[in-house]
A and B are shown apart, each in its own frame.
Chain A
Amino acid sequence: EPEVTQTPSHQVTQMGQEVILRCVPISNHLYFYWYRQILGQKVEFLVSFYNNEISEKSEIFDDQFSVERPDGSNFTLKIRSTKLEDSAMYFCATQTHNTAQYFGPGTRLTVT
């Protein structure tokens, strides 16, 4: 069964550094999302992406964040200058029309 994959599974970085989280969507999916979950807390929406542009973004998704799909397969989330409070699990999710969102296994980001 096709699945969403994410790399790396765990990323440790120093405050102020840039990180790129990668996601490979299910091949016929058209809508892509990033969510994050701080340990023990609710899942938070970051951004949705369709037709090579952002469809919706939350207040969390400020100028430090960006997304792109550079090669038509990978869907990336970049955090330009990480902060301690960016430490969280980051989930990529993808869907096609009228289906549920399917999630990758997540990337655990630790900012020290």
Chain B
Amino acid sequence: AQTVTQSQPEMSVQEAETVTLSCTYDTSESDYYLFWYKQPPSRQMILVIRQEAYKQQNATENRFSVNFQKAAKSFSLKISDSQLGDAAMYFCAYFMDSNYQLIWGAGTKLIIKP
């Protein structure tokens, strides 16, 4: 069965600095998708970034980028120039078409220090 592990329950970073959130996953499949979702205090679940496993190029969305290491089954999220609005829970999630569900990590709480 697929699993997703986020080993950092909480991270803190100074405003304007860079922070990296870790995620590892376990699967025997070769074709799948990986996501980072952000959940601010409002509890809305907001898509941050997605990565297709067949793509070697790391996904980037403005200040957010990933380091996807398929062989190591690692999918970390880098946030550059951290802003106060980035404070939230961040969830890593795995999806495979045949499973019809997202499999979630436990989340990392990101604190931004002004």
Contacts and interface: CB of A to CB of B under 8 A. Distances in A.
Interface string A82-112: 0000000101010000001111011010000
B84 to A, nearest CB: 22
B100 A50 contact: yes
B104 interface: yes
B26 to A, nearest CB: 16
Interface residues of A, number: 23
A35 interface: yes
Interface string B28-45: 000001010100001111
Contacts of A76: none
Interface in B17-66: 33, 35, 37, 42-47, 50
A14 to B, nearest CB: 23
Given A42-B106, A42-B107, A43-B91, A102 B100 contact: no
Helix, strand, loop or mixed for chain A's interface? strand
A55 B100 contact: yes
B43 A100 contact: no
Contacts of A103: 37, 44-47
B101 A45 contact: yes
Nearest to B49: A100
B54 to A, nearest CB: 11
B21 to A, nearest CB: 16
B45 A45 contact: no
B104 A100 contact: no
B47 A48 contact: no
Contacts of A18: none
B100 A100 contact: no
A103 B42 CA distance: 13
Interface of B: 33, 35, 37, 42-47, 50, 91, 93, 95, 99-107
Given A44-B104, A101-B35, A106-B44, 4 more contacts: A31-B100, A43-B91, A45-B101, A56-B100
